[in-house]
Amino acid sequence: MSGEWDAAALHLARPLHRIRSLFVVEMPAVLRCRYLSQEDLLAGRWADAVDALLAQDAPRERPRIDGAQIAAAAIVDLVS
C-alpha cells in the first residue's frame, strides 16, 4: 500500500452497534462515505449510491497509514 489512502465506503444501518453514532459522525472527516438502506442493499439497488459516493470530494483530513512502520521502528529501538 502506498502512502496515499483514498478509500470510500457505503455504510448500512446498524442500530445495535455500540459505536455506530460515533462512527457515522466521525467517518466523513477521513473517509468518503454514504448511507445505503437495507432495502436498497437487499434489492440490489447500489448503483446510485456508489455513483454518488465516488463523485464525492475526498476529505481534507487523511488518516495515517504507516502504523506498521512506526511499530517496527519502536520494536527495533527496544531491542537495539
Q: Decide: 34 and 10 in contact? Cβ < 8 Å.
A: yes
- Pick the closest to residue 69 from 61, 77, 59, 57 (CA basis): 77
Helix (H, G, I), strand (E, B) or coil at 79: helix
For 7-64, the pLDDT digits (tens) are 888 988 877 777 777 777 888 888 899 999 999 999 999 999 999 999 999 888 777 7
How many Å is the Cα radius of gyration of the chain?
17
pLDDT at 2 over 70: no
pTM of the model: 0.64
